[in-house]
Structure 1
Amino acid sequence: MRLLPVLLSAACVGLSGCAVMSVSECQVADWLDVGQRDAFAGRQKRFAEYEKACAKANIQPNQALYDTGYTKGRFEYCQPEVIFQSSLEGSGSYQICPVAQHAELKPYHDVAAQYYQAKKVKDQLFDELERYQGYLLDPKLSKENRETYTRRIRELKIKQERIEFDYFDAEHKLARFKRERGLK
C-alpha cells in the first residue's frame, strides 16, 4: 500500500495536473482507476467535471465504474495513517470519509494539518526576512528603499517570536501524537 500514493500521484500528473480531462484523456480513461485516484487523493467526487470535459468529444464517462473505483479508493484513503500523512503534506482531509469514521480520523488530520500550517507560515516568514535582508546588501539601494526594507524587517521580527512559538508548539504536539500512536 505504500507505493499506491506514489503511483497515484504519478498517474495524477498524467491527468492535466488532476484538474479536468482533455479529449484524448477521455478517450482512453479507465473510469475505475480515475475514481480510485480521486478518492485516494482525498478529493470529493468529480464525475460531473469529467462528464462536462468529455462531452466535448461526445464521450460519456462510465459512472458505475467511477463510483466503484471511488469507493475502493476511499476505503484505502480513509485510514488513520494515510489521513495523517496526507495532512502533513497539506492535502489531507477526512471529510470524504464515512461520517462514522470522522471522530477517529479527525485527530490524525488536525495535528498534522496544524503542523503543516505552522511550518508553512514559519518558512514564509524566514523566506521573506531573507529576501529583505538580501535587498539591503545592494550598494545601489536608495535611502528611501533602505528605510522601507529595514522597517519591513523590523515588522517581520516582531511577528517572528509568535510564529516560532506556534511552530514549536505544533512540532511538540506532532511528536507527542506520533509517539502515542506509534507513527513514523
Structure 2
Amino acid sequence: MQNTWVVAGLACMLSLSACATLNESECETVNWSDLGRSDGAAGQSSSYVQRHREACEKYSLPVDERAWRTGWEDGIRRYCTPENGLSAGRDGRSYANSCPADAAPGFESAYRVGKRVHDARSEYDRLKSELEQLYDNLEDAAKDEDRRKIRNRISLKESDLFFAEGRVRDAERLYDRYLYEEAARRY
C-alpha cells in the first residue's frame, strides 16, 4: 500500500513539472491566450504565468503576459463553479485560492463538502490498511504475549475503523444533501 502512494506521488510530481514548463519550440509558438485559458480552466493561480516566464527565459524568449492573463481570466471563471469545487474536493485535488471574489464562495463551499468526503474515505482506507497489517502481524507472532498485544491493538483499530466508517457516511450524506440542494436551487 505504501509503495502505491509513493508511485502515485511521483507520477503526480512528474505530471506537474511537465505541465509547468515549456520547451523552446513551445515558447516560440504558443498561443498565450489559449495557454492562459487552459491554465485557468485547470484552476491554476494567476501567478502560474511565472513558471512559463521562467521556462521561456532560459531561451531568451518573451511571455505575452497580457494575452495569458486575458485567457486565464476566462478559464478561471469556467473552473470556479460549485460543480468543479465539489469534484476537486472529492478527488483530493488541492485548491490554489485562485477563484475571483464573486465566484470563490460557491466554489469553496462545494470544495469543502467534497474534501470532507475525500478526507473521511482516506482516513478509513488508512485505518483499514493498518488493521490488515495487524492481522498479518498476528499470524506471524510467535509468542503468546505478542499475540495478546496485537489482539488488543486490533480491537482498538477495529473501533477506530467503525467510527471512521461513520464519518464517511456522514460526509457522504452531507455531499448528497449538497447535491440535492443545488439541484433544487436550479429548478
TM-score normalised according to structure 1 size: 0.74
The unaligned stretches of length 5 or more in structure 2 are 1-10
SS at 1:98's partner residue? coil
Cα distance change, pair 146–64 in 1 and its aligned pair in 2 (3 A): farther
Which of 94, 97, 112 is the matching residue for 1:110?
A: 112
SS at 1:129's partner residue? helix
The unaligned stretches of length 5 or more in structure 1 are 1-12
CA distance in 1 between partners of 2:179 and 2:131 (Å): 31
How far off its partner does 1:119 sit? Answer: 1.2
Aligned 8 A contact 2:84 2:107 in 1: no
* 1:87-144 C-alpha deviation (Å, 9 max, x unpaired): 2212264832221233333322221111111111111211222233234444xx5548
CA distance in 2 between partners of 1:30 and 1:85 (Å): 28
Aligned 8 A contact 1:37 1:73 in 2: yes
* 1:133-183 C-alpha deviation (Å, 9 max, x unpaired): 234444xx5548766755543442232233222111111111111122229
CA RMSD after TM alignment: 3.0
CA distance in 1 between partners of 2:33 and 2:146 (Å): 57
Aligned 8 A contact 2:22 2:52 in 1: no
* 1:22-71 C-alpha deviation (Å, 9 max, x unpaired): 53454554322332222222221211122122222222222122112211
Aligned 8 A contact 2:33 2:68 in 1: yes
CA distance in 1 between partners of 2:151 and 2:65 (Å): 58
Cα distance change, pair 137–54 in 1 and its aligned pair in 2 (3 A): farther
Amino acid at match of 1:86: A
Amino acid at match of 2:92: G
Cα distance change, pair 160–51 in 1 and its aligned pair in 2 (3 A): same
Aligned positions, number: 168
State the match for 2:91 in structure 1: 89
Higher relative helix content: 2
Which of 40, 45, 50 is the matching residue for 2:52?
A: 50
SS at 1:182's partner residue? helix
TM-score normalised according to structure 2 size: 0.73
Aligned 8 A contact 1:94 1:105 in 2: no
Alignment of 1:148-167 (within 5 A): 150=151, 152-167=153-168
CA distance in 2 between partners of 1:89 and 1:149 (Å): 34
CA distance in 2 between partners of 1:65 and 1:148 (Å): 64
Cα distance change, pair 151–78 in 1 and its aligned pair in 2 (3 A): same
